[in-house]
Structure 1
Amino acid sequence: MTIDQHGPRVGYAAGAFDLFHVGHLNILRQARQHCDHLIAGVVSDELLEITKGHRPVVGLAERMEIVEHIRYVDQVHAEVLLDKLDTWRQLRFDVFFKGDDWKGTPKGDLLEREFAAVGVEVVYFPYTRQTSSTKLRAALDVLTLPAA
C-alpha cells in the first residue's frame, strides 16, 4: 500500500470473531493487503444477541484479546453500534471489508450505497464455507447435550 497526500489508507473489518477460526484469519489477512492500517471491529456480546439471536461462546474481552494478537491487525475496536455509518463517524476508515455472503443482498446493497455517499469503498472477500462459527457452535451443542 502507498500513502497518498491524505495519509494511510485505513480499513475496517468487523465481525463476531467468536470461536476464532481460519475463515476469520483469511478475512483479516486479505483486508490487511488492501490497506495501510487495519482496524478490526469486534462485535459486542449485546449486539450479537440483537443481530444473531444468541450470545457468543467467548466473551467480548477475550475475543478482542485474540484479535488484537493477530499480526495483520493494527487496532481493535469494540463494536457496540448497530449502524456501520455511526461506527464510520467514530473511526473514519476509507475501506470496509465484508464476507461475500453479503454481496448482492439487500443489506449489502444498502451498505454499499450508504458508504458510497461518504466515500468509503466496500470490498468483499470469499466467505469460508467449510468452517464457520455457526458450524463450530452446532458441533459444541451436540457435544454438550445431556445424556438421555
Structure 2
Amino acid sequence: MPHTVGYAPGVYDLFHVGHLNILRHARSQCDYLVAGVVSDEVAELAKGRAPMVPLIERLEIVRSIRFVDAAFVETVPDKLETWKQVRFDVIFKGDDWRGTPKGDRLERDFETVGVGVVYFPYTVHTSSTQLRSAVERLAAGHGTTG
C-alpha cells in the first residue's frame, strides 16, 4: 500500500486558524504529514523581518497539532534542498503562491523529482502580518516595545 508523505512549510508565526486549516487540509491528503517550520534566519531572509515568536516555541506549537506527524526545522530557503533531507511526495502551499513567479518556480523544481504541489485556500481574513501589525500598534499606543 502506498505511503504518501506530505510537507507543509511555513513560518507559523503568531499561530492562527489559517495555519491550522492548512495543516488540517494537508493531513487529509497524505498518510504522514511533516510540517516544515522555517528558522528565524530563513524567515527574516524571506520576509525582511524576524518572526515575533522564537523558533523553539513555533516548533513546539506546530509539533503539538494533532494533524502533524513530525516537525522539521527549515534552515535553507531552497525547498529542493529541504526535500533531499525530508523526502516528501507532495508539498502543500497557500494559494497565494499559485500563478506567481515563486509558485511557478516551485512547481518546475518539484516536477523534476516527481513531487506534487497542492495549493490550499489562503485565509485572507486572518494573517500573521495583520496580527503582527495589531500587536505593534497596541505596543506603540502603550509606549512599550515588547
- The normalised TM-score by structure 1 is 0.94
Give the structure 2 partner of residue 83 of structure 1: 78
Q: How far did 1:94 drift?
A: 0.1
SS at 1:14 equivalent: strand
The CA distance in 2 between the partners of 1:135 and 1:41, in whole Å, is 22
What is the distance in 1 between the residues matched to 2:25 and 2:141? 40
Pairwise CA RMSD: 1.0
Aligned to 2:20: 25
Aligned counterparts of 1:131 and 1:105: Cα–Cα separation in 2: 21
Match in the other structure for 1:118:
113
State how far apart, in whole Å, the 2-side matches of 1:23 and 1:107 are.
20
Q: Distance in 2 between matches of 1:30 and 1:86?
A: 24
Q: Give the partner amino acid of 2:90.
A: V
Counterpart in the other structure of 1:141: 136
Q: What SS class does the counterpart of residue 140 from structure 2 fall into? A: coil
* In structure 2, distance between residues paired with 1:106 and 1:98: 14
The percent identity for this pair of structures is 62
Which of 66, 77, 90 lines up with 1:71 in the alignment? 66
Runs of 4+ in structure 1 displaced over 6 angstroms?
none
Taking the aligned partners of 2:125 and 2:94, their CA distance within structure 1 comes to: 14
d(CA) in 2 for partners of 1:74, 1:25: 14
- TM-score w.r.t. length of structure 2: 0.95
Any gaps of 5 or more consecutive residues in structure 1? none
Matched positions, count: 143
Give, as a single letter, the amino acid of the residue that structure 2 aligns with 1:62.
E
Question: Match of 2:67, as an amino acid?
Answer: Y
